[in-house]
A and B are shown apart, each in its own frame.
Chain A
Amino acid sequence: MSINYKTSRRNLLKSTAGLAGLAAMSSIIPGKRAFAADLTVGFVYVGAKDDYGYNQAHAEGAAAVKEIEGVTVVEEENVPEDVSVQKTMESMINFDGASLIFPTSFGYFDPHILTMAKKYPDVRFEHAGGMWQADKHPMNVGSYFGYIGMGQYLNGITAGHATKTKKIGFVAAKPIPQVLLNINSFLLGARAVDPTITCQVIFTGEWSLAVKEAEATNALADQGADVITCHVDGPKVVMETAAGRGAYICGYHANQSSLAPDKYLTGAEWNWAKVYTDMVNTMKGGGTIDNFIRGGLKEGFIKMSPLGPAVSDAGRQQFEETQAEILKGGFAVIKGPLNDNKGNVIATAGQSFVETDVALESMNYLVEGVVGSTS
């Protein structure tokens, strides 16, 4: 359905532009200009809108934007990270009149968003990731992201209280900085409870490989990991397999508690609804959105799933205390003395990297206590 729609739009684009473009356009545009406050916002997803993970989290944000009065939302899913995303953005701009676009996948940025931003300087492009630089990139492009590593730290605290084997597990896709920060944070959260805990990590090599994710989860359970979390695009397989093996689970991207309510401790969720409505309201009010936006728990960019029944009272207390600490701002998960798991010094005593430190966005190590390797 969506494919047909796109093709017909594109054909329409060709014919109108080729033959009587101006005449045809002028009949559309005045209608839109009659309502100056109206705003059309476009969302582009790399996968299915309801993948129970990364894309769904963004789509829920888009759903919140729809509720704002005078705002129209257009969406397209399963758009590959190639020239098709440029066509999608172009059709959103020309036919839906979108003046703010959220291409949500990491690989959309260079060169696709940059090309479109130069071609349509009046349209605002907002990208989830971390690559906008003032001296290199157009001013109508912005970057936003959340400190979800803090959420994995809190996951780790509940895991530290729940584990009996003192071994926790992490199914990871690829060893990129955001994933490594999540793994390290999960372990350090657990070590805030008991410093003897270790975390086994297994990389699957891809964002979405159902069978390999299930095998990795089983291998972790075989080795005695009794709390498992993950960083893959759709955590459903890991959650179901882990719970099926009797392990506790910590969610990621979205709330997965309904998959195994008894085993679900808590989860680190995106809260794009808040981020997106803020940005759209700024734009609607005639303001300018910052080019570099970051936020964590305090700013409402991320949130935690409600604690499950398996979390002990001690666990609940430490979770709430730590969450309150983080909410004050300036919390550091990576702080000295700390070595990586090869024995290199990451931070000396007294040295710390607070959540806002950009150095964390180029993380390339696993900390001591994580069993695994980045290559």
Chain B
Amino acid sequence: MGGDIGLWGVPLAILGGAIRVSTPFLFVSLGECLTERSGRINLGLEGTLVFGAMSAYAVAYETGSPWMGVLAAMIAGSAFGLLHGWICSLPKVNDIAIGIALMLFGMGLAFFFGKSFIQPVAPDLPAINFGFWSDYTQVQAALKVNILFLIGIAASLGLWWMFRNTKIGLIIRVVGDSTDAARAMGLRPNLVRLLSTAAGGALAGVGGAYLSLYYPGSWNEGISSGQGLMAVALVIFARWNPIYCFWAALLFGGAGALGPALQSVGVTQGYYLFYAAPYVLTLAVMILTSSASKTMTGAPAELSITK
């Protein structure tokens, strides 16, 4: 073990927590961002996340390859996305209600198939040690970065660029902002939304794979504890911008590490309060950034919550 780092443990834990805990938030919020930009809300991503975690763990255990697990989670996630997208393309279907139904369905299915995978140990995803320069094991541990985290950064930059500069990005944005305009352009809004929801589901599935294959790195029924739901809320917080999604995910990850870190340096009173830090933070930022004249900056106009 390294030396005694005392109070430095708190900022270090927040940094380490931001890197370790943020990845599922990042992938789910990117998936949701993509889906919502096309004008649809998928609240079922919590279920997709849990099912992705289970399928990734199961496949990684059976095949011995964590990357096969990630692939399985992507496929499972896009299947859930397709299902959601298909049901929502039927007339008079409420996407929020379907999302909640699919969330419960995904979790139930994952618990059912996941029974026999609670005890076995599956191989972990590899990580890169960016803390090699430090003599402190604590710093080395905090700067151990999983490859999926880096892929997540690339994905948020890629999505941001796609929305701004590519034809696909433009199509998704048009469909999300006005179904009528999209139809007039000869686009098929339902197909675009179906594919966006499927791609969003695949991203959420990868987030699940990170949970079960890297951190905390095992499959059990309490693995997600609502992270998928929080990530959906993060998208609103991030104003539907993939880059902001990344920062918001980091913030949530870091704030979540605050509670345990403070207890570990001896600030032990009121830990339930520190555990609420991410939510207090969200509330504060929401209030500070809200505007009376301009509601919901950046919100796709076709979203059922803005209509």
Contacts and interface: CB of A to CB of B under 8 A. Distances in A.
A219 B220 contact: no
A373 interface: yes
A200 B264 contact: yes
Interface size class of B (residues with CB under 8 A): 35 or more
Interface stretch (B1-9, B63-71, B77-85, B164-172): B1-9
B118 interface: yes
Nearest to B275: A205
A237 B266 CA distance: 23
Given A222-B5, A373-B268, A240 B217 contact: yes
Contacts of B297: none
Interface in B196-254: 211, 215-218, 220-223, 225, 227
Contacts of B222: 206, 208-210, 234
A219 B264 contact: yes
B221 A216 contact: no
Contact of B218 (A220, A224, A240, A373): A240
B112 A52 contact: no
Contacts of A52: 118-119
Contacts of B137: 245-246
B300 interface: no
Interface string B243-279: 0000000000000110111011110111110010000
A179 interface: no
A203 interface: yes
Q: Closest 4 interchain pairs by CB? A: A373-B268, A208-B222, A214-B216, A219-B264
Given A200-B264, A210-B220, A216-B263, 19 more contacts: A51-B220, A78-B111, A202-B263, A211-B216, A214-B20, A214-B216, A216-B260, A219-B264, A222-B13, A222-B138, A223-B264, A226-B1, A236-B118, A236-B119, A236-B218, A240-B217, A245-B137, A246-B1, A372-B268
Interface of A: 1, 47-52, 78, 164-165, 200-206, 208-216, 218-224, 226, 234, 236-237, 240-241, 245-247, 258-259, 371-373, 375
21 contacts: A1-B112, A47-B221, A164-B1, A208-B222, A211-B223, A211-B227, A216-B264, A218-B20, A218-B141, A219-B260, A220-B264, A222-B142, A222-B261, A234-B220, A234-B222, A236-B119, A237-B216, A237-B217, A241-B216, A258-B121, A371-B266
